[in-house]
């Protein structure tokens, strides 16, 4: 429903803030668009696949404290969501921004199913997960190459190429294209000169 869409959207100002926050974080240093497994290893988090009944029905995954001192936290992910790249990346984003690099997890963070994202903070975590997985600069470059292409590159091929490059769904890529274009437009309007 339209109303819900509106409520879901973060303001352009907020998305610019989040992009900057990501740029200054350890994730920029580690490198963008890495897999959940690479990041988990880098941050000493254990990814543990669990039975769907082990987490509540509206939850895909949870970041919880670890009993094993070898790990700083455990990401429990339902087996049915294991293939969804975003599920674990979401938890890793919680780790970086809510727990802090190098610190042990001391409370539980969850990822709710789509449409059950309860608050602004969770939406910001989801935004950061998309932004990390499909970096702003790379996306902007791809979009401007597409827009300048002559003869015009096929739009469906363009989107399909991005889906393949980032291992993301069609819907996720389209959403990210809209976000990146919105930020670029805003920066142009406010006279922000990008490098
Ligand atoms: Zn969450």
pLDDT, tens only, 12-47: 999 999 999 999 999 999 999 999 999 999 999 999
Ligand 1 centroid to residue 121 C-alpha, Å: 8
Ligand 1 centroid to residue 46 C-alpha, Å: 17
CB 96 within 8 A of CB 131: no
3-state SS, one letter per residue, for the chain: CHHHHHHHCCCHHHHHHHHHHHHCCHHHHHCCCCCHHHHHHHCCEEEEEECHHHCCCCEEEEEECCCCCCCCEEEEEEHHHCCCHHHHHHHHHHHHHHHCCCCCCCCCEEEECCCCCCCHHHHHHHHHHHHHHCCHHHHHHHHHHHHHCCCCCCHHHHHHHHHHHHCCCHHHHHHHHHHHHHHHHHHHHCCCCCC
Ligand 1 centroid to residue 163 C-alpha, Å: 24
| pLDDT tens-place string over residues 40-96 | 999 999 999 999 999 988 889 999 999 999 999 999 999 988 778 788 999 999 999
pLDDT of 195 > 50? The answer is no
**d(C-alpha 119, C-alpha 114), whole Å:** 13
Ligand 1 centroid to residue 140 C-alpha, Å: 27
**d(C-alpha 149, C-alpha 168), whole Å:** 23
Ligand 1 centroid to residue 91 C-alpha, Å: 6
Please report the pLDDT score of residue 117 as a whole number.
Answer: 57
pLDDT of 186 > 50? The answer is yes
Please provide the size of the chain in residues: 195
pLDDT of 5 > 50? The answer is no
Ligand 1 centroid to residue 110 C-alpha, Å: 4
Please report the pLDDT score of residue 24 as a whole number.
Answer: 97
Ligand 1 centroid to residue 156 C-alpha, Å: 32
Please report the pLDDT score of residue 133 as a whole number.
Answer: 97
Higher-confidence residue of 87 and 3: namely 87
Ligand 1 centroid to residue 142 C-alpha, Å: 29
Segment of 86-90, 108-112, 132-136 carrying the highest mean pLDDT: 132-136
Ligand 1 centroid to residue 27 C-alpha, Å: 17
């Amino acid at each position: 429903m339209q109303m819900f869409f509106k409520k879901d959207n973060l303001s352009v100002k907020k998305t610019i803030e989040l992009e900057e926050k990501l740029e200054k974080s350890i994730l920029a240093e580690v490198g963008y668009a890495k897999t959940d497994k690479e990041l988990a290893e880098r941050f000493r988090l254990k990814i543990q696949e669990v039975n769907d009944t082990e987490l509540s029905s509206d939850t895909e995954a949870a970041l919880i404290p670890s009993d094993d001192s070898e790990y700083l936290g455990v990401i429990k992910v339902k087996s049915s969501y294991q293939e969804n790249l975003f599920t674990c990346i979401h938890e890793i984003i919680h780790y970086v921004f809510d727990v802090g690099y190098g610190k042990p997890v001391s409370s539980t963070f969850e990822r709710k199913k789509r449409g059950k994202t309860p608050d602004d903070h969770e939406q910001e975590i989801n935004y950061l997960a998309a932004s990390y997985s499909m970096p702003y600069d790379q996306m902007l470059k791809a979009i401007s190459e597409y827009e300048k292409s002559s003869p015009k590159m096929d739009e469906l091929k363009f989107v399909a190429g991005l889906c393949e490059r980032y291992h993301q769904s069609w819907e996720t890529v389209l959403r990210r294209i809209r976000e990146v274009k919105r930020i670029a437009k805003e920066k142009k309007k406010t006279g922000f000169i990008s490098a």
